[in-house]
Structure 1
Amino acid sequence: MSDAPDDGAGEDLGPYEAVVAHPDGDATVARFAQTARRYGYDGLVVRTRAAEFDAEALRERYGVDAVPAVEVVAEEPSSASGAVGNFRPDYPLVLVRGGTDALNRFAVEQDRVDVLAAPLSGDGDFNHVLAKAAATHGTRVEFDFGPALRESGGARVRALKGLRKLREICGHYDAPYVVSARPTSHLQLRAPRELVALGGELGFDEAWVREGLAEWGRLATRNRERLSAEFISPGVRVDGCEETDR
């Protein structure tokens, strides 16, 4: 359901974080939501397909929007393609985890993929060809701040260097993006101001980081509308009161 990068940009949404919840992570969605509210998040994207939660109950209790998502993890593009096709009709957000050149390229060349997740993990690289493809297909590129927050020594230095390079390439080609710390526990959740501070260390301005956090919510809002029965095409909806038999 990817689209032009500015699609939905008019939505006035606050920060969202994309989390790895139980059973893949160490905290339930409810625990994440409780912490997210305290830190000032408007919503959570739940990457874990097997996570069980009641989004409406979490909204009522914590005032946090919990968005069901799926992060496709595959060894090769052919496997990822089948999974994306299976999950696309049922989930507001579909991510593909990168980490290899082949998977990174697959994700940014697919209109059906919303986000290329963790493109710099593993042996993956990101270059100008992929940035152009992401801009063309509207696939958001994830800036994963997690390693820069949680690693130390040489690993942290490499993570910072990779993020700076990714920002330079995406900025040059106006590739759309999202920002996340990719927490697997509520203890790894960081307030937006902490991510802004890390961005400052990298040379990213505050507005850029906050836009990347809000983009998760914009995508979710747009795709939820497209999954609704009333949606036909952008700007066109079925009138619920319209007569169907004429």
Structure 2
Amino acid sequence: MSYEAVHAVPDGATAVDEFARVASEFGYEGVVVRNHGDALADFDPEAVAARHDIDVVAGVEVRAEDPSRASGFVGNHRDTKTVVAVHGGDPAVNRFAVEQPAVDVLAHPMAGDGDFNHVLAREAVENDVRVEFSFERVLRADGGRRVQALRDLRKLGEIVEEYDVPYVTSADPTSQRHLRSPRDLAAVADTVGFDADLVETGLAEWGRLAERNRFRDSETFVEQGVYLRGESTDAETDEGDFTDGEADDGE
């Protein structure tokens, strides 16, 4: 299972429909549309999915100048978007994102002035927030910016491995020209010193995340580990309790 997370028109140069078509041809099972909150795409996920035989996930990448604004934006989108990411690269916003269970992904934490350390790693694990390995600068930058991007990704990789931080991977495409097939993206990672499994696992995680969140939004989900009888998903724990239509809250 491989999913790519894209920025479509008006946040990028390619429409959702075209991203879905090309991604399907490249062998992806799904695309997550994660436009920034001030440039959301207008599309029908089910219609696009039917046309191109690919899962289309409505997401958002919240971009804010400070944690207080980010908090409001996350709250605004959590009930309407399947995947909620936070635009990383600022130390305070990075810290905010990994402290919020309502956040699914901290996008490109090493961009700009951003950093990722053991404190943030522990928070990300505690709150089940994925960090993103963005290969955008590796693929599309050159010279010093590309060298710095490689250093940043290697540091992130060391911390993620040490603390077992959940993660996703992406080429962070804003155009169909930026898309790489899962095999090609894994090959790029391999040539710059990363295990191809990192890319494969990270691309699959977008899909697992979408599956989990859709289940949590369904009528069969009561709370973590508790489902209506007869319904469960591989994205949730196999040790959950089941109820015949009514959950026991212990009170």
Q: TM-score, normalised by structure 2?
A: 0.87
Match of 1:79 among 39, 64, 69: 69
- Secondary structure of residue in 1 paired with 2:180: coil
**Amino acid across the alignment from 2:11:** D
Task: Give the structure 2 partner of residue 228 of structure 1.
Answer: 218
Shift in Å at residue 16 of structure 1? Answer: 0.3
CA distances 1:174-225 after superposition (whole Å, capped 9, x unpaired)? 0000000100011111111121012112322222210100000000000011
Task: Give the structure 2 partner of residue 21 of structure 1.
Answer: 8
**Amino acid across the alignment from 2:220:** E
Corresponding position: 1:199 with 2:189: yes
Shift in Å at residue 230 of structure 1? Answer: 3.0
**Amino acid across the alignment from 2:72:** G
Task: Give the structure 2 partner of residue 38 of structure 1.
Answer: 25
Flag the structure with more relative contact order, 1 or 2, with Cα contacts below 8 A and sequence separation at least 6.
Answer: 1
Task: Give the structure 1 partner of residue 168 of structure 2.
Answer: 178
Task: Give the structure 1 partner of residue 58 of structure 2.
Answer: 68
Task: Give the structure 1 partner of residue 153 of structure 2.
Answer: 163
| Aligned partners of 2:14 and 2:175 also within 8 Å | yes
Shift in Å at residue 137 of structure 1? Answer: 0.9
Q: What do you get for the CA RMSD once the two structures are aligned? A: 1.7
Match of 1:119 among 97, 109, 121: 109
Count of paired positions: 230
Structure 2 unaligned residues grouped into runs of 5+: 232-243, 247-251
- Secondary structure of residue in 1 paired with 2:123: helix
Match of 1:237 among 228, 232, 235: 228
The correspondence of residues 113-152 of structure 1 with structure 2, limited to 5 A, is 113-152=103-142
Task: Give the structure 1 partner of residue 236 of structure 2.
Answer: none
- Secondary structure of residue in 1 paired with 2:120: helix
Structure 2 distance, partners of 1:131, 1:152, is: 29
Say if 1:239 and 1:214 are closer, same or farther in 2 by CA, change over 3 A.
closer
CA distances 1:138-177 after superposition (whole Å, capped 9, x unpaired)? 1000001000000011111111111111000111000000
Task: Give the structure 1 partner of residue 249 of structure 2.
Answer: none
- Secondary structure of residue in 2 paired with 1:68: strand
| Aligned partners of 1:231 and 1:238 also within 8 Å | no
Corresponding position: 1:58 with 2:45: no
Structure 2 distance, partners of 1:56, 1:100, is: 35
